[in-house]
Amino acid sequence: MAIETSTPVLIEAMSYRGGAHSTSDDDSKYRTSESPEEGWDSERAYWEARSPIIRYGRYLQGKGWFTPDMERQLRKQARADAIAALNQAEATAKPDAMHLFTDVYDELPPSLVKQRAELKAHLLRHRAQYPHVTDEQLNSL
């Protein structure tokens, strides 16, 4: 359709999320170890066999457009790029503490007003542990 009409097309693709929402999420609370269909060891194995990423990789390899060696090189470069980005981010100055509370709401809800006050009290109480937090930043809270 996009080629025939030269217009944008929205493609909705639904897939199984292979991992938990975050590192603090225990996905065993909402996933089952049983397969939705006989013949599979687990729910995860069932869905991994249907992974669009794996299937597309096999398609590209079948066409001769992508090889396992290319994937290894791509993963190696992506890892190096990610590590470099992390090192650069760690070397960047920390943002002002007040920005913890300025990125979502125009007017803070009471729960965040309370959290902001608790953060300020904590920073004041443990001042020696936060030498990078200036008096100006504290006052901005």
Alpha helices in 13-140 (DSSP H): 43-48, 52-62, 68-91, 110-125, 135-140
pLDDT value of residue 79: 98
Q: pLDDT digits over 69-87, tens only? A: 999 999 999 999 999 999 9
Listed by start position, the domains of the chain span: 31-92, 97-140
Q: pLDDT digits over 100-136, tens only? A: 888 888 899 999 999 999 999 999 999 999 888 888 8
Distance CA 68, CA 57 (A): 9
- The pTM is what? 0.53
Q: Of 107, 106, 116, whose CA–CA distance to 138 is shortest?
A: 116
